[in-house]
Amino acid sequence: MGKRVALVLAGCGVFDGSEIHEASAALVHLSRGGAEVKIFAPNIEQRDVVNHLKGSPAEEKRNVLVESARLARGNIQDLAELKASEFDAVIFPGGFGVAKNLCSWAVDGKNCTVNEHVSSTLQAFHSAKKPIGLCCISPVLAAKVFPGCEVTVGQDKNVDGRFPDAETASAIAELGCKHICKNVNESHVDKTNKIVTTCAFMCKAPLHEIFDGIGTMVQEVLKLA
């Protein structure tokens, strides 16, 4: 029987929800790994809505669960219903929705608050010693909830212009966590906390390299599960 994995989404679309390529990559690698996946998202209003064609705010309101259902092909549940006891691992793809809807990092940085259901989900898996996978900006969730943990968001310097958000690594360190520098096709395993992270689109890289990096994260999560 395959490992049972919960995938937590934050909407649909890089600028106000989950990064679609990252969510899809995680699902493909989980499928290849024989995992049984169920998808969840919080039933809350998005912090904002972005016109992805223009890159500008749109004057409308959208619901994170409803928007995430687009990526889940309609097969999705409210995050409030997720029971860690029914799963072997949990994975969070990235996207600005993580920093806007799952927490307030986009506005408050390291002083952010984390959505109550996101926080309780992370704590439940951690307490049960079950692995947590995070990519792109999602590792800040672990940094906020688990002081002292080890994560990666890529590099701590903007190497060759490929890591424009390198200052995130410094903010993670200021939270008392250890940032581990990794390339886009790599992931880092915090064996003590069973937290696996990869930088994904925090690096300006070809899509296949991001896909491969997410693959290493998924493989390590399944090994730990």
Is pLDDT above 90 for 9?
yes
Q: How far apart are CA 54 and CA 123, in angstroms?
A: 38
What pLDDT is attached to residue 5?
A: 98
* Mean pLDDT over each residue of the chain, to the nearest integer: 98
Residues in the chain: 225
**Residue among 90, 93, 94 at smallest CA distance from 3:** 90
% of residues, the chain, pLDDT over 70: 100
% of residues, the chain, pLDDT over 90: 100
* Average pLDDT for 203-207: 98
Amino acid identity at 45: E
pTM score over 0.95: yes
Q: Is the CB of residue 163 less than 8 Å from the CB of residue 148?
A: no
- Residues facing 166 on adjacent strands: none
Q: What is the pLDDT of residues 99-133, one digit of tens each?
A: 999 999 999 999 999 999 999 999 999 999 999 99
**Active site amino acids:** 136
Q: Where are the beta strands (DSSP E) in 64-184?
A: 77-78, 89-92, 132-135, 150-151, 178-179
* Average pLDDT for 43-69: 97
Is pLDDT above 80 for 1?
no
Q: How far apart are CA 79 and CA 66, in angstroms?
A: 12
